[in-house]
Amino acid sequence: MRYARVRHDGRSHWSRVEDDVVHLLSGSPIEGAPAVTGTVSLSTVELLPPVLPFVFYAVGLNYRAHLDHARAQGYAVGTTPTQAEVGYRANNALVGSGAAILVPPDLAGPVEAEGEVVAVVGRTLRRASRAQARESVFGWTIGNDVSARAWQHTDRTCWRSKNSDTFKPMGPWIETDVDPVAQTTTVRVNNEDRARFATGDMIFDPWDYLVEASRYVTFHPGDVLWMGAGATCPITPGAVVDIEITGIGTLSNPVLADSVAAPDGASD
Amino acid sequence: MRYARVRHDGRSHWSRVEDDVVHLLSGSPIEGAPAVTGTVSLSTVELLPPVLPFVFYAVGLNYRAHLDHARAQGYAVGTTPTQAEVGYRANNALVGSGAAILVPPDLAGPVEAEGEVVAVVGRTLRRASRAQARESVFGWTIGNDVSARAWQHTDRTCWRSKNSDTFKPMGPWIETDVDPVAQTTTVRVNNEDRARFATGDMIFDPWDYLVEASRYVTFHPGDVLWMGAGATCPITPGAVVDIEITGIGTLSNPVLADSVAAPDGASD
């Protein structure tokens, strides 16, 4: 099944997507069994981020190819992770498939796309076994961990390098029937293939992270866990960036220069 | 006015607190003007975290005294911040005043309390002037940025050092009528004063952070911004830690050893 959040007639709805048809739902399918309240064409709705998480988890370096690439560029990424440690992203940055990625006017240097498979947690999870972690995932979606490298390397935190508004496209929907580690991730810019990697070629898999993190934290229904990327691709204003993961779908976002100048931070 | 979220008769309610009386409210006062639906004694309710934020912002190093202390202990904290950069904490870790801080069974080394004043955002904010940032704050509460130093210095992220369940006490309520930078923060362990500092002795004040961050991110009603601590205090199981900020109140939490053994991460 494919579940999406959509804007239709000015309101947001949970929905079930079937080919080109969207069945609007009375509530979230993550914790209940909502009723169908209407059916509309997919082309008439705006896709929203498929969930707004209570906690937005993300894994930093989880593919050897990405680590090797970063080292080749001279970045101090440290050693290959030896334990499954989660990090965080911020909800303000989420947009759905189709929405624009806005490049801030004062950003110097490249913006890069990172295509990631995303676990959507379906139930409360604490001190989970691997079997419980597997059962806890409601479904899978796609994330683009848009990154401004200059800020990533100069700032103390990833606040604006990875969490500027629109920097976290997620979607187009949640697919409940897919094996995420048996898929292929392809990143396309203006319909040209720029990167392709085995989605499952991870250092630690999603269930490793859920088991390890749940030793200390409680996962809640709707939490998301972005699994890291195997490659990065520069993107520039005017381009369209697509992340396709077989078995799930394609997350597609245009890139635009944000035309509004930021005010001087010292203004009063 | 003092607004709290409380559990009463098994349900969570927004409420207005007046001395020892709690007026239960029909909804959130942050975005509306809810009606009073009942009145109960403060002693009969459980205090919850006063808000569950859409984004949980926190400032790392924002007091010179804290930086000097960290350097004296040999930590590589780097230079004094020259720009107002936000970081993040995670909602799973939030508990209200009165709830126990649970020390994980496998944690070696000290746990420390950090008393912080917290801004609660009341309206949507983007590219704010300093005047707009001032107007955007709904009120102020207190946070205890509980930190496990061993994990903070060995892990790549602050996921378990600062975001283990129960590590983010917040409360007891939101005070709307207080000047946060004219107050005094006192940390007490078992009723003994352990640290005291001027709440306003910050490198950057709350409005500096809101102005700077809102150049890139949209703040939403209910977002919280923890402002950093001027001192740290070791806490151990069996103790009670109180953070008092004049003009707001006292956030009080017992510290307990978590008695449940975490499972082996490799179990299946």
Is A267 part of any domain? no
| B156 neighbourhood in chain A, CB within 8 Å | 60, 78, 81, 85, 87
What's phi and psi for B129, nearest 5 deg? -75, 170
A36 is written with which tokens?
């169908």
Tokens of B110: 């000290």
Q: What is the band of B59 on the pLDDT scale with cuts at 50, 70, 90?
A: very high
Task: Check whether residue A243 and residue A215 sit in a common domain.
Answer: yes
Length of chain B: 268
Kindly report, residue by residue over A92-124, the tens digit of the pLDDT.
Answer: 999 999 999 999 999 988 999 999 999 999 999
B-chain residues within 8 Å CB-CB of A125?
Answer: none
Residue B146's pLDDT band (cuts 50, 70, 90): very high
Percent of chain B with pLDDT over 90: 85
The C-alpha of A257 sits at a distance from chain B's nearest C-alpha, in angstroms, of 13
pLDDT over 90 for what percent of chain A?
85
- Tell me, yes or no, whether B36 and B137 share the same domain: no
Q: Is residue A262 a part of any domain in this protein?
A: no
Mean pLDDT of B206-215: 97
- Identify whether residues A26 and A62 lie together within a single domain: no
Whether residue A20 is predicted with pLDDT greater than 90 in this model: the reply is yes
- Asked if A175 and A91 sit in the same domain, the reply is yes
> Band of the pLDDT at B81, cuts 50, 70, 90?
confident
Q: Which domain holds residue B132?
A: 49-257
- Check residues B262 and A93 and name the one with the higher pLDDT: A93
| A268 Cβ under 8 Å from any chain B Cβ | yes
Q: Are residues A68 and A33 in the same domain?
A: no
Cβ contacts of B160 on chain A, cutoff 8 Å: 213, 216-217
Number of domains within chain B: 2
- Interchain contact, B220 vs A129, CB within 8 Å: no
Residues linked to residue A143 through DSSP beta bridges, in sequence order = A116, A170
**B87 and B164 share a domain?**
yes
Q: What confidence tens digit (pLDDT) does each residue in B167-182 have? A: 999 999 999 999 999 9
Is residue A212 located within the same domain as residue A85?
A: yes
Q: Are the beta carbons of B217 and A159 separated by less than 8 Å? A: yes
The predicted structure's pLDDT at residue A261: 54
Interface residue B126 vs chain A (CB under 8 A): yes
Which of B121, B114, B96, B93 shows the shortest CA–CA distance to B30? B121
| Bridge-based pairing state of the strands B94-95 and B36-41 | unpaired
Q: Which of B92, B102, B158, B167 to mutate to test the interface with A (most CBs of A within 10 A)?
A: B92
Please report the pLDDT score of residue A111 as a whole number: 96
Per the domain annotation, does A268 fall within a domain? no
On whether residue B262 sits in a domain, the answer given is no
pLDDT in tens, A182-193: 999 999 999 999
Evaluate whether residue A247 is within a structural domain.
Answer: yes
The answer to whether position A36 is within a domain reads yes
Give the CA dihedral B94, B78, B236, B175, nearest 10 degrees: -40
Q: Is the bond preceding residue A172 a cis peptide, omega within 30 degrees? A: yes
ipTM of the complex: 0.94
Give the range among A68-82, A245-259, B221-235 with minimum mean pLDDT: A68-82
Q: Can you give the pLDDT at residue A268? A: 39
What is the edge-to-edge ordering of all strands in the sheet holding A249-257? A101-103, A249-257, A240-245, A184-189, A192-198
How many percent of chain B have pLDDT more than 70? Answer: 97
Q: Are residues A117 and A19 in the same domain?
A: no
B216 and B172 part of one domain: yes
Tell me if B264 is assigned to some domain: no
A60 to chain B, any CB pair closer than 8 A? The answer is: yes
The reply to whether B2 and B59 lie within a common domain is no
A217 in contact with chain B, both atoms CB, cutoff 8 A: yes
Concatenating the DSSP letter of every residue in A125-158 gives: BSS--HHHHHHHEEEEEEEE--EEHHHHHHSSSS
User: Contact A265/B211, CB-based, under 8 Å?
Assistant: yes
Q: What would the mean pLDDT of A156-162 be, rounded to a whole number?
A: 94
pLDDT band at B262; cut points 50, 70, 90: very low
| CATH number for the domain that contains residue B135 | 3.90.850.10
Interchain proximity B159–A93, CB inside 8 Å: no
Tell me B42's DSSP state: G
Q: Which amino acid is at A67?
A: L
- How confident is the model over B131-156, as a mean pLDDT? 96
Same structural domain, A42 and A65:
no
A110 with A239, same domain: the answer is yes
At residue A251 the predicted structure's pLDDT band, cuts being 50, 70 and 90, is very high
CATH of the domain at A32: 2.30.30.370
Q: How many CA atoms lie within 13 A of A155 on its CB side?
A: 21
Within-domain flag for A10: yes
DSSP string, B194-220: EEEEETT--SS-HHHHHHHHTTT--B-
Residue numbers in B near A220 (CB within 8 A) = 92
R_g over Cα of chain A: 18
- A211 shares contact with chain B (CB less than 8 Å): yes
Predicted pLDDT at A244: 98
Averaged over B133-147, what is the pLDDT? 98
Extract the tokens encoding A88.
């965080």
Q: Do B217 and A87 touch (CB under 8 A)?
A: no
pLDDT at A178 over 90: yes
